[in-house]
Every structure is written in C-alpha cells, then in structure tokens.
Structure 1
Amino acid sequence: MPSPRAALARTFARLPPVARRDAEIRQLSSVVRKRSRALVKQRERAADLQAEIADLRAQVRREQEKAAASDKTSRERLARLKAADLRISRAAEPTFSTLLAQQRALYGRLRDSGGHALHPMSRTEYKLHNMAFAQSHGLRTAQVFQAWATVDEISLDALPDEFVLKSDGGSSAHAVFPLRRVDGSLTRVDTGARVSIDDIKDRIRALGDRARGPFFAETLLASAEGSLVPDDIKVYTFYGQPGQVLLMRPAGTRRRDAGRRYLDPATGADLGEVIPGATYKPDIPVPDRLPEILAAARHLSLASGSDFCRFDFYDTPDGIHFGEITPAPGDPQQYRLEHDLSLGARWLDARVRVLQDEAAGRPRGLVWGTHPHEWHYPSGSEPDDMANWPRSVSTCDQWCVRMS
C-alpha cells in the first residue's frame, strides 16, 4: 500500500495546473536536448571546417613558397644573364673603367721599375708641379706660403691664421688639412675639430706613400656661395673635350661621404645617378662660371697631351682657381654600363687625336705656356729628378687652342 506521502504527490501531480507545468517542462527538456545535440553537431562541423581551413592555408603557404622559390630562381637566372651580358658588353667595347684600370696599372709598373718620370703624364701626380704648369698657361692658383722637404721640417708659426696644408704627392685628399687658428689653437675648417701640429705630422707619417713630400701651405680659398670649403669642380677631359663634370661637396674628412652631382658639360643637365651607390646631392648649385671653367679645362687638356685627364677647379669670389690634375682617379669609378661605354668611346677618340697631333709634330706630353710661373720645390726635394725632365714650351698658337 502506497505511503501517504506518495499518494499525496500523485494527487498533487494530477492537479490541472501542475500537470500543465510538468508537460511544459518535459517539452522544454526535449527541445533543450535536441538543441544541445544540434549545437554539438555544429561545434563538430565548425571544428571540421577549421581543420579544412588550416589545411587550405597550409596548401596556400606551400604554393606561395613554391612560387617564391621559382621567382627567386627566375630572378637569379635573370641576374646571371644580365651579368653575362654586361661582361660581354664590357669586353666587346672598351669602357672608361677598363681603360682607367689599364692606366693605373701602367703608372704602377713605371713607378715600380724606377722609370716613373719617363711617362709625361706621370709628372702630373705632383701638385706643386701642376700649379706651375697651370700658371704657365695663365690660370690662377692658390698662393703658396711655404714649402718643406720633409714632415719634420714643417713649421706653421709664420703662416697666416687660415691656410691649407698639403702633400705634393698623394691621392684622394688623404693629406689635405684646411686649418684655422682659433684662440691660439689649430682647428680643422671642414670638421671643426681641434688638432695640433704633432697630430698632423703623425697623420701624414701614417699615410706613407699616400702623402709624399714635399709639403706646403697655401691659401684657404673661399667659396663663391659662402660655404666653409668650396665645392670641388672636377672636369673629366679627353684631349680638349670635356666628357663630364663632377661637382663634389666635402662632408668631413671621409671622401666617400662627400655629396656628388654629375653634369653634362655640353648642356649643364644633371646626368643623374651614373655611379650606383654613391651619395648624390642634386641641390649642389651649378657654378655661374662653369663655361669659363670648361674653357680652362679644354685648354689644359690640350696642353697636357693626354687622351684622358681630370682637372680640378674652385669657384671663388675672386674668380676660378686651378686646383690639381689627376691622370688616374682612384675614387670609385664604376659607372652604369651605357655611361661607362660612352666615356670609353670618348677616351679612344681622344687617343686617336693625340696620335694624329704627334704625327703632325706636336711635342709628346706636356706643353708649357709662356706665362710666368712659380717653382716652390725646396732645394733637393724635386721628385724623380724633376729638374732634369725635358720641358716643351709653346705660345699655344697651335697645340693648346685647338677645339676638336
């Protein structure tokens, strides 16, 4: 017999409101169970889809990696083809860089063999010599205050408060010290750093062959536009014909940091980045006296008798000043192929013109002018017995004024 409690529960459950509530609960429980099963299935499907997406993404990555590898292979193959084409082009037609390498090698062999003075253009490696040569053709140069045969003899006491100390032989401005006295101390104009005469002498000694004596002090030239140090104006000439103009703006003591701008000498137009990787400054102004500078470079180029030579000038408030001659520039000269080929063609054409003039009676090598010039070599300091070198002198009526 059921207990009174159980009987009471059955009776309570049969009450209409309670029965309806229990029926709704059962119905809702059924719905919840169905939705729970559906949610489980959806979660399982979502997991399957996520796995499929992960697989698809992995496939895409693999395809991308294959494509990248294929593209890299294609780029490497194209680079090899371009390099091969470049080698073929440079071998087929002499370029400026190959001819320059030959010229450097020739000077090196002459120097090593003791016959350095035998080649006329070897003489142009000496700054004091070049200044005298330029003066003989009526060009202005910086005033030389004093010259010393050796490093130990250098004394700056009698010099003005501003000057430039240089070595006669050397390259790439290694031994060029623009100096100013400030409060009794020497200061580099280009960097503002304070130095002592002993510092400078130690630096010169450390340079070895890159700073060959004698040594001299000259005027610190002002810039026409007011900068601390004037821009270098370097004209690449091919026996009377300028091939390009390099405007170089100093930046401290490291030459590779100097800003560059290359110009077409015929039009003055910017040639752009003809040397990949160089530091370009397209805002370096074109000198107002560029036509005068180009005329001087043409004249000296013909007077030099060289198929190629670079002439440096400075534009100052007092007019243009000759700087130096560089027969075989040592700084980077790796031009774009088309520019390299163009300069190489100019070089070969110039060589032909030199040979033609020599066949017509032109003296070989440098032809000196008739203007007064100063000779600042201390006694016994002339390199390679320079005093014994033959020197041709001309009024420039024929060999120095021809405009080929």
Structure 2
Amino acid sequence: MSRARRSLNPITAQRIVRAVARRARTPTILARGGQTDADSAEIVRLRAQLADSEKAARAARVARRAAAAERNAAREEAAEWKRRLEKPSFLRHHHAWVELGKHYRQDPSPAKERIGELNRKLWVHAFATSHGVPVPRILGLAQRPEDIDLAALPTEFVVKTDGGASSRAVLPLRRVGEDQYLWIGHEPAMTLTTAQVIEHFQRVRALTQSYGPIFAEQMLESVTGSELPDDVKIYMAYGKVLHVLLRRPTMVNGKSTAVRRYISEAGRDLGQVVPEPDLDPTIPSPKTLPQMLEISRRISLALPMPLCRVDLYETQQGPVLGEITRTPGATHRYAPRHDDFLGREWMKAEARLFEDMHHGRSGRPTWGPHADLGMIDRLPAFPSGDGRSRQ
C-alpha cells in the first residue's frame, strides 16, 4: 500500500481513527529492538492521518446536524403550505388576487372605470376626491423627470411618479441651498442636486420600478414631531377592517426600511402577528383613527373588490389619503391563527360583494358625488381605453 496521504471518506473516518489509535499503541517497534528512522516517519504519518480523520469526523457531524435542521425546516414549510392550501389563508387569496390583477391590466374598458387604474396615484387622487377624502395638494406635474421645475416649488415637497410599486419612486425633499435638496428621512444624510433627482427617477424607470407622469405634491406635516408622518395602512375586506398596520419608514443608503406595529380597529395591539423582528409597540395609535376607519370603509365599499388597503397619514389638518392599494406588497407570512382569520374574512367579503352585485351593484368603481373626471383628462400621457395615450 502506498504511504501517500489520502483524503478519507468521512463515513469511515471513525473506523480509521480507532484502527490507527490501536496501531499507534502497539509496542511492535520496541520488540524489534529499537526505533528506526522509518519507524519514526511511520508514527508521524499515522498521527497526521489520525488528526485528519478526527477533523473529517467532526465536519461530518456538523454536516449531519445542518442537513437535519434543513430537512426539519423543509418539513415545517411543507406542512405550513399544506395548511394554507387546505384552510382559509390570506396568503393563498392574495396570490390569486395578484394573478387576477394581471388580467385587469389588460382590461380594454375605459381608463376612468378600470379597477387596474388603482396602480396610478393620480387616478386615485381623483377617485378619492370624488368621495370627499382629503388628498395632498399637487404642486407640479410633468411628463418626464427632466421636465419638472424643482426651483419653482416650495421649500419642502415630495416628488413621485404616477405609477410604481417601489418606495424608491418617492423622494421627500427640502431645499437647503441653491440647487441643493436634502433627502428627508434618509440615513446617512444626503443632499441631491436637480440633476441627481432627475438621474434618480430615470434610474428607477429603467428598473421598471416607476412609470407614468412625474409630479410634486405638498409635504405633509407630522403630528408626532418626526420629519415624516407615520404610514397608517388599513386593510379592508369590502367594508370590514381586518387590521391596521402602523409603519414608521426610513431610507438607509437608498433602501427603504421601517419599524411596524399591528393594531385592531379598536386600537388594540395585536402583538407578534408576523415573524419579522422589527415590530415596535411604542408607535402611537393615530388620534384620528376613527375618522381614518370611516374613510377606509367608504373607499372600500366604493370598489368592487373583496380586499384593498387604504393608506392614510395623520396630519395637523386631519387624515390625508396617501394611496389605495389593490394588491398590498409584502410577504404576508402571518401567524397561523391570524392568517386563518384574514382568510376567512376575505371569503366573507367575496360573498358580500357577490350578493351586492346580484342585487345590481356595478362591477366598476363607484365614483362619489364630488367627481371631477376632467382631472384625468388633464393628466399628461394618461392611457385611454383603446391603448393610446392622451396628451
């Protein structure tokens, strides 16, 4: 047998360890009348092989434990998905609702009536205004990022694009010098020039994270003293409040992060209803929560859909609408009991909606008594029902 060192199979490592140990303890060398150089080299080789074998055995034990942990996690994941598929589940309904949204985006009906236009912030402004819901004041509107005049805006303002599912398409800014704008809420502190603001929106457009016209709206004043007001996201199931997500956002190196708290419509803390560790029970419930809930119910019942999320801000002037979301973006990995509750309420909402439609409810959004549909006609490049763009 060659004496060259070989890589051992970890499965047989322990056998080799025992065999080498026995051989190293055998006094055959002394019985031959002394230790030769060859004998010394053999002992060194055996000890090195013993050390390698023990290391391989330890690595094999670690690998077995890791494989067992991975196997158990996969079993738990499979069991969780089986439960969500067999029982009411918000996550299951949400997946189906997202797929339905793909159909709405292809809907050839007029833009003023399409449910899919909830993805457009300016459409939502017009729809909410028709129901008497306060919205931020529009300060400037342009077709392209390079066409908006930041110098003509007040000291503080928010720049957004009409469409987009990423918070990167929203820039809250404060003018701090000539052509210098502080990115409010960004950590670490960052200032941008007009050229950098334009480049920012061009980049998010290239990444398909935003689309449509770009506009500036008023900066809403927080009632808590923080630079930005907390998000109050109310999950509605066709007139019924599911829960309220309080979210305190921060931008860190250009990436959105936030701490959160979940409460009931009565303002009761719901505790750890999600597995994420970033829950903060100290975020205060809005003082205007009853008004926010009334607005959310009104909006929810005006939309022919079992679920929507109504995003509001608490300001010095009262609740102000942020947006209406048909398919809220999140992992939606709720604790089993809460997930089951949300799934059951979603099914009940579908039943109520179908019943109302049976009695004549329109399958299109119901505009309120204050509707000004001309708002939509005045929007640059707003898509018309035939697929062309209005100018």
Query: Under a length normalisation based on structure 1, what TM-score does the superposition of the two structures give?
Result: 0.72
> What amino acid does structure 2 have at the position aligned with 1:100?
H
- Checking the alignment, whether the CA contact within 8 Å between 2:107 and 2:114 is kept in structure 1 is no
Residue 123 (1) aligns with residue 122 (2) = no
Corresponding position of 1:188: 183
Residue 156 (1) aligns with residue 153 (2) = no
- Checking the alignment, whether the CA contact within 8 Å between 1:275 and 1:334 is kept in structure 2 is yes
Secondary structure of the residue aligned to 1:368 is coil
Corresponding position of 2:264: 264
| CA 1:336–1:69: 2 relative to 1, 3 Å | same
Unaligned regions of 5+ residues in structure 2, if any?
1-58
Distance 2:150 2:385 in 1: 26
Distance 2:144 2:97 in 1: 29
Distance 1:195 1:70 in 2: 52
Distance 1:114 1:152 in 2: 31
Distance 1:160 1:256 in 2: 25
| CA 1:281–1:271: 2 relative to 1, 3 Å | same
| CA 1:69–1:173: 2 relative to 1, 3 Å | closer
Distance 1:146 1:376 in 2: 14
Residue 174 (1) aligns with residue 168 (2) = yes
**Over residues 165-186 of structure 1, what are the superposed CA-to-partner deviations in whole Å (9 max), with x where a residue is unaligned?**
1101001322111111112221
Corresponding position of 1:273: 272
| CA 1:109–1:275: 2 relative to 1, 3 Å | same
Corresponding position of 1:7: none
- Checking the alignment, whether the CA contact within 8 Å between 1:214 and 1:377 is kept in structure 2 is no
- Checking the alignment, whether the CA contact within 8 Å between 2:248 and 2:260 is kept in structure 1 is yes
**Over residues 91-111 of structure 1, what are the superposed CA-to-partner deviations in whole Å (9 max), with x where a residue is unaligned?**
112411121122222223554
Shift of 1:273: 2.4
- Most deviating of 250-259 and 172-181: 250-259
- Most deviating of 286-295 and 152-161: 152-161
**Over residues 139-164 of structure 1, what are the superposed CA-to-partner deviations in whole Å (9 max), with x where a residue is unaligned?**
11111012112223221122111111
| CA 1:319–1:110: 2 relative to 1, 3 Å | closer
Shift of 1:300: 0.5
Distance 1:374 1:219 in 2: 22
Corresponding position of 2:128: 134
> What amino acid does structure 2 have at the position aligned with 1:172?
S
| CA 1:133–1:292: 2 relative to 1, 3 Å | same
> What amino acid does structure 2 have at the position aligned with 1:188?
W
Residue 364 (1) aligns with residue 358 (2) = no
Corresponding position of 2:292: 293
**Over residues 280-332 of structure 1, what are the superposed CA-to-partner deviations in whole Å (9 max), with x where a residue is unaligned?**
12111111111111111011000112210000000001111011011112233
Distance 1:201 1:262 in 2: 36
Distance 1:218 1:363 in 2: 32
| CA 1:285–1:133: 2 relative to 1, 3 Å | same
Shift of 1:349: 0.9
- Checking the alignment, whether the CA contact within 8 Å between 1:307 and 1:350 is kept in structure 2 is yes
Match of 1:204 among 201, 220, 233: 201
> What amino acid does structure 1 have at the position aligned with 2:220?
L
**Over residues 356-404 of structure 1, what are the superposed CA-to-partner deviations in whole Å (9 max), with x where a residue is unaligned?**
111111111210111255855575634331699xxxxxxxxxxxxxxxx
RMSD over aligned CA atoms reads 2.9
Corresponding position of 2:346: 347
Residue 307 (1) aligns with residue 306 (2) = yes
- Checking the alignment, whether the CA contact within 8 Å between 1:308 and 1:347 is kept in structure 2 is yes
Tell me the percent identity: 33
Unaligned regions of 5+ residues in structure 1, if any?
1-64, 389-404
| CA 1:126–1:380: 2 relative to 1, 3 Å | closer
Query: Under a length normalisation based on structure 2, what TM-score does the superposition of the two structures give?
Result: 0.75
Secondary structure of the residue aligned to 2:212 is strand
The within-5 A match list for 1:33-48 is none
Shift of 1:278: 4.7
Distance 2:152 2:372 in 1: 23
Shift of 1:255: 6.0
The structure with the largest alpha-carbon Rg is 1
Distance 1:70 1:175 in 2: 46
| CA 1:128–1:198: 2 relative to 1, 3 Å | same
Corresponding position of 1:251: 250
Distance 2:272 2:255 in 1: 17
- Checking the alignment, whether the CA contact within 8 Å between 2:230 and 2:247 is kept in structure 1 is yes
Residue 334 (1) aligns with residue 333 (2) = yes
Distance 2:231 2:367 in 1: 24
- Checking the alignment, whether the CA contact within 8 Å between 2:108 and 2:385 is kept in structure 1 is no
Shift of 1:251: 1.3
State the aligned residue count: 323
